[in-house]
Amino acid sequence: MPSKTDAGDVDVAIVGAGPAGIYMLHRARTAGLSARVFDSAGGVGGTWYWNRYPGARCDVPSLEYSFGFDEDLQQEWSWPEKYSAQPDLLAYLNHVCDRFGLRDGIQLETRVDSVTYDEPQGRWQVGTDRGDNVSAQFVVMATGALSAANTPDIPGLDTFAGDVIHTARWPHEPVDFSGKRVAVIGTGSTGVQVIPEIAKQASELFVLQRTASYSLPSGNRPLDPAEEAVIKARYADFRAANRLMPAAIGSLYQLRSTSVLDATPEERQLAFEETWEMGGFAFVRTFPDLTLSHEANKIAADFARAKIRSIVHDPATAELLSPKIVIGCKRMCIDSGYFETYNLEHVHLVDVSTTPIQEVTSAGLRVGDRTYEVDAIVFATGFDAMTGALLRLDIRGRGGQPLGDAWAAGPGTYLGLSIPGFPNLFTIAGPGSPSVLTNVIVAIEQHVDWITDCIEDMRDHGYSTIEAMPEARDAWVVHVNEVAADSLHNDPGCNSWYLGSNIEGKPRVFMPLLGFPAYVDRCEEVVVRGYEGFVLSPASSP
Ligand code: FAD
Ligand code: NAP
């Protein structure tokens, strides 16, 4: 365990050493700013440090889900698979830290538990569980939109005699389920990845499903060197083309531009088969209107449900696995052999949608009048997304106002980057940003570049403080909601982590912003208009 370090004053304190914190440190240093990163983890990598569960891998192709800020970096790194697995993603992020000499700026095993604005000084005090108290002019919260693990409060959990593991806190040592009876709770993106892997070992596997997910085959395979060479020959152009796509991914898909409603049943079938075969998110883009209208959505959903029925032998299980929600309500899952797993005799699907899990006993899980006796329970139950990591630490702005009070009715930011009353504090991939509706690495690079350029501008023009105006925040919140209102993400029957509805008591607010390219333009426009919506104050007035 490292001892308490006296980090001293810095220009920028960064909370989180995932991709966002790593790139933020690099950019801050190249801008001549002193900076220090804190992370409670024992290593760098954020998501890819914590989520070590078997089957964990990215759902955006690795040639896209990687940094584009340095041409040499992107040329020299080779990915083994189209969608790389967690160990390869973690190795990559460690490589980035070594390659750019970042390690000495990162303090690990250090949880930041308070971030307090010292109004007279115009600086932030960052307190950690190691007793550090660091003074910083700027704070960047790179705490992750999907880092605050959510374990449902099921009565009796502490009485369970076996092992309890959350996928986002997977042990470092291998977990052997051989000969064991295992329960997995949750069938979101994590569940569909971990379930086939646990099924390979467990003697009996119970999957407790509350909501059936749409899941598309990844089509994962070793990365073809020829495909890699083609992209690397024009990597910068490839990244630029992706940045112009609605979710900053998939510029390579050559998809139709006409409505699914204008296609004949045969044409639809052919088109859907083609994108299903391509793997990954291509299916959702088969026609441009699949996530725009209910009628179009239903046609794609019927195809996806027919696929499930064609894979899963038992009709009752296939029916239970067939999602009833609209495509786009929740994030689409990408899997490698998920539905096929239910054809294994030792894998049982348990419906907990109408009869929830009542309690955990020492022997297992009680659902209705049946107890499922197991040796281990795996929680694939997701995250308190977007706001969880921020609200789990004590952030206090002007007048000592806690962030929790400022966000009591729901999170409010300007551009997803800044909060009135919290000057010089920036959020990366925070609520109001398009982050989680994109290839997140692309959004992170854009956020970090904007923040660093802003700090440089402030220095060049003699400003010490930047703060979002309440009116700008209010208008931004309205904008985020207006854009979402017309989308199927916000369908009345939808309960997703985008809306905070996976966490009891969390205000139901659509948190991320739809529309990455328009967002980038808006951020640039704000700068051109002299940081419109912000108050900039000179060095003498914090
Ligand atoms: P993170 O990687 O989450 O890092 C945040 C860090 O902050 C963590 O290490 C955490 O320990 C630290 N932290 C938080 N609070 C504190 C505190 N108080 N004190 C100290 N440290 C703190 N996105 C995609 O675009 N494509 C994908 O394929 C994809 N796959 C994913 C798979 C999984 C299993 C999960 C959970 C998410 C996935 N995501 C994916 C989203 C993913 O979170 C982002 O792509 C990316 O990792 C976000 O980087 P980040 O640095 O913002 O946050
Ligand atoms: P999630 O999408 O929120 O899924 C959590 C699952 O747990 C859901 O099926 C949920 O059911 C269930 N659940 C929660 N509480 C429950 C309870 N009390 N009883 C029964 N079931 C319960 O979380 P996730 O799967 O970890 O994924 C979160 C996000 O991380 C993804 O959307 C994605 O952005 C990212 N991710 C990506 C990948 C990838 O493929 N690269 C992998 C993992 C995660 P309900 O739906 O009914 O709430």
pLDDT tens digit sequence for 331-371: 999 999 999 999 999 999 999 999 999 999 999 999 999 99
The per-residue pLDDT for range 447-473, each reduced to its tens digit, is: 999 999 999 999 999 999 999 999 999
Q: State the distance from the centre of ligand 2 to the C-alpha of 189, rounded, in angstroms.
A: 6
- Long-range (24+ apart) CB contacts under 8 A made by 232-241 are 232/74, 232/75, 235/68, 235/71, 235/74, 235/75, 236/68, 236/71, 238/63, 239/64, 239/68, 239/442
Assess whether pLDDT exceeds 70 at residue 27.
yes
- CB 403, CB 396: distance < 8 Å: yes
Lowest mean pLDDT across 149-163, 311-325, 490-504: 490-504
By most ligand atoms within 8 Å of CB, the mutation choice from 44, 107, 147 for ligand 1 is: 147
* Confidence grade of residue 541 (pLDDT, cut at 50, 70, 90): low
| Beta carbon of 144 within 6 Å of any ligand 2 atom | no
Quote the CA–CA distance of 439 and 242 in Å, as a whole number: 9
Q: Is the CB of 188 under 6 A from ligand 2?
A: yes
If you count DSSP H runs as helices and E runs as strands, how many of each does the chain have, helices first? 15, 20
Model pLDDT, residue 470: 98
Rounded to the nearest angstrom, the distance between the alpha carbon of 18 and the centre of ligand 1 is: 6
CA nearest ligand 2 atom 20, residue: 210
3-state secondary structure of 160: coil
Q: What is the pLDDT of residue 251?
A: 83
Indicate which atom in ligand 2 lies nearest the CA of residue 186: 7
Among 445, 390, 392, smallest CA distance to 412 is for 390
Q: For ligand 1, is residue 188 a contact (CB within 6 Å)?
A: no
CA of 256 to the centre of ligand 1 (A): 33
Mean pLDDT of the chain: 95
Centre of ligand 2 to C-alpha 297, Å, is 22
> Across residues 413-433, what is the average pLDDT?
98
Looking at the CA of 186, name the nearest ligand.
Answer: 2
Confidence at residue 224, expressed as pLDDT on a 0 to 100 scale? 94
292, pLDDT greater than 90: no
Q: Whose CA is nearest to atom 53 of ligand 1?
A: 144
For residue 510, give the nearest of 533, 476, 472 by alpha carbon.
476
> 190 CA distance to ligand 2 centroid (A)?
6
Q: 3-class SS at 15?
A: strand
Mean pLDDT (whole number) for 424-440: 96
Tokens at residue 222, please? 């070793």
Q: What is the pLDDT of residue 2?
A: 39
How far apart, in whole angstroms, are the C-alpha atoms of residue 310 and residue 308? 5
pLDDT tens for each residue of 82-119:
999 999 999 999 999 999 999 999 999 999 999 999 99
Query: What is the mean pLDDT of the segment spanning 390-418?
Result: 97
Other Cβ atoms less than 10 A from the Cβ of 447: the count is 27
Atom of ligand 1 nearest to the CA of 22: 51
The stretch 370-391 carries a mean pLDDT of 98
Q: Which atom of ligand 2 is nearest to the CA of 213?
A: 9
Q: What does the alpha-carbon distance between residue 499 and residue 501 come to, in Å, rounded to a whole number?
A: 5
Residue 7 has pLDDT above 60, yes or no: no
3-class secondary structure, 166: strand
Distance CA(162)–CA(441), nearest Å, equals 37
Ligand 1 pocket: which of 107, 126, 146, 442 to mutate (most atoms within 8 A of CB): 146
| Centre of ligand 1 from the C-alpha of residue 51, in Å | 9
Separation of alpha carbons 518 and 528, rounded Å? 15
Q: How far apart are CA 161 and CA 305, in angstroms?
A: 38
pLDDT of residue 540: 67
Alpha-helix residue ranges (DSSP H) falling in 432-469: 440-460
The ligand 1 atom at the shortest distance from the C-alpha of residue 58 is: 28
Ligand 2 within 6 A of CB of 21: no
Question: Is a pLDDT exceeding 60 seen at residue 5?
Answer: no
For residue 47, the ligand 1 atom closest to its alpha carbon is 2
**Token code pair at residue 525:** 């426009």
- Confidence class for position 4, pLDDT limits 50, 70, 90: very low
Instruction: Tokens 């208009």: give the residue.
Output: 529
pLDDT at 252: 78
Mutate to test the pocket of ligand 1, among 143, 195, 331, 379 (most ligand atoms within 8 A of CB): 143
Q: Is the pLDDT of residue 1 over 50?
A: no
125-140 pLDDT per residue, tens: 999 999 999 999 999 9
pLDDT at 448: 98
pLDDT of residue 441: 98
Cβ burial, residue 346 (10 Å; 0-12/13-18/19+)? exposed
- Phi/psi of residue 380, each to 5°? -110, 50
Instruction: Report yes or no: 541 and 465 within 8 Å, Cβ to Cβ.
Output: yes
Instruction: Decide whether any atom of ligand 2 lies within 6 Å of the 357 Cβ.
Output: yes
In this predicted structure, what is the pLDDT of residue 39? 98
- Among 245-259, 297-311, 474-488, which is the least confidently predicted range? 245-259
Q: How close is the Cα of 330 to the center of ligand 2, in Å?
A: 9
Residue with tokens 């999602």: 323
Rg from Cα positions in the chain: 23
- Please give the number of the atom of ligand 1 that sits closest to the Cα of 50: 9
H-helix or E-strand spanning residue 302: helix 294-311
491 by Cβ neighbours in 10 Å (0-12 / 13-18 / 19+) ranks as: middle
